[in-house]
Amino acid sequence: MLSFGNKIKYYFELMFSILGFVPRHATVARIISMISAVAFSSYLAYFQEGNWKLSLIYFISFEILYIGFIYGVLSEGGYRHLLIRKFGEERGYLIFEGILGFIFFNNGASITYIATTTSGNLLQFIPREILFIIVGAMLIVGFGIKLFAAKATSINIYYWKDMFLGRKISNFVTSGPYKYFKNPMYGVGQLQAYAAAVWCGSIFGLLIAAVNQILVFSFYYLEEKKFIKRVYLKS
């Protein structure tokens, strides 16, 4: 059983891993890429505050990169085979994980940024104090569900290591949030993506968050679900 200090450390590592930086696999290249991503998103937030055109370019670029990357690598005949042949299973996966983490971070940052650059009066009838509570609850519930879903399955599953290797790497999980939701990661776990749009009163921000969620679900239904049935649920 983990001590209190080790539990805190574990949850911080889990949180950073979900956001795109996996501490246990930290390398100089990963640290530099993540610092660059944080610096760029901070620059946009503070120095390009109302630039909705730039926010749209940022979102579209990383949405295409995100969806294209997971389809292109993780599909049954995807580029994962090339990475494994060239680098071996473990190194090939770590290369994939590092790239995906960078994309994860920028994809999330672009959704938030686009909400702030297209702010409006969508929910102006709600007092700001009440709206603050609503948004806070969305963030806590959404990220909390994602955190505990990742804890239940492991960060390896969060980054699709099983799909990358093309085989089962753990038992099929029905604990944690999976007791109550079929797909907590892509469902309730995406709630925080809508929070910035709600706070900013951005209709466009809500639309963008929905587009992102629909595309992620498309990957689940077209690729991941077939893999789960074939590998984890086969009789």
pLDDT in tens, 80-132: 999 999 999 999 999 999 999 999 999 999 999 999 999 999 888 899 999 99
Q: By C-alpha distance, which of 34, 42, 175 is closest to 112?
A: 42
* Mean of all residue pLDDT scores within the chain: 94
Q: What is the pLDDT of residues 183-229, one digit of tens each?
A: 999 999 999 999 999 999 999 999 999 999 999 999 999 999 999 99
2, pLDDT greater than 80: no
- pLDDT, greater one: 234 or 37: 37
Q: Token pair for residue 39? A: 């610096």
Residue of 194, 185, 180 whose CA lies nearest to 225 = 185
pLDDT score at 161? 97
Provide CB contacts within 8 A for 204, sequence distance 6+.
52, 114, 115, 118, 120, 197
Whether this prediction's pTM lies above 0.75 is answered by yes
48, 135, 144 from 138: Cα distances, Å: 26, 5, 10
- The yes-or-no verdict on residue 1 having pLDDT over 80 is no
pLDDT of amino acid 185: 92
Output the pLDDT for position 69: 98
Query: In this predicted model, what pLDDT tens digit does every residue of 147-186 receive, in sequence order?
Result: 999 999 999 999 999 999 999 998 888 888 999 888 999 9
What sign for the dihedral angle of Cα 153, 71, 30, 32?
negative
Collect all residues with Cβ–Cβ distance below 8 Å to 16 and sequence separation of at least 6.
22, 23
**Spatial separation of the C-alpha atoms in residues 156 and 213, rounded to whole Å:** 21
Predicted pLDDT at 4: 78
Res 234 pLDDT > 80: no
- Quickly count: other Cβ atoms within 10 Å of residue 99's Cβ: 15
Tell me the percentage of the chain whose pLDDT exceeds 90: 87
In the predicted model, what is the mean pLDDT of residues 122-144? 94
**CB neighbours of residue 76 within 10 Å:** 12
pLDDT bin (cut points 50, 70, 90) of residue 14 is very high
Whether residue 70 contacts residue 163, with contact meaning beta carbons closer than 8 Å, is answered with no
- Asked whether the predicted pLDDT for residue 61 surpasses 90, the reply is yes
**78 Ramachandran zone, left/alpha/beta (phi>0; psi -120 to 50):** beta
* Confidence at residue 7, expressed as pLDDT on a 0 to 100 scale: 86
- The tally of domains found in the chain comes to 1
- Measured in whole angstroms, the distance separating CA 165 from the mean position of its chain's CA atoms is 20
The residue to which tokens 């929910």 are assigned: 123
Structural domain for 206, as ranges: 4-231
> Rg of the chain's alpha carbons, rounded to an integer?
18
Q: Residue 5: its pLDDT value, please?
A: 77
Q: Which residues of 107-122 are buried (b: 16+ CB within 10 A; e: fewer)?
A: bbbbbbbbbbbbbeeb
User: At residue 235, does pLDDT exceed 70?
Assistant: no
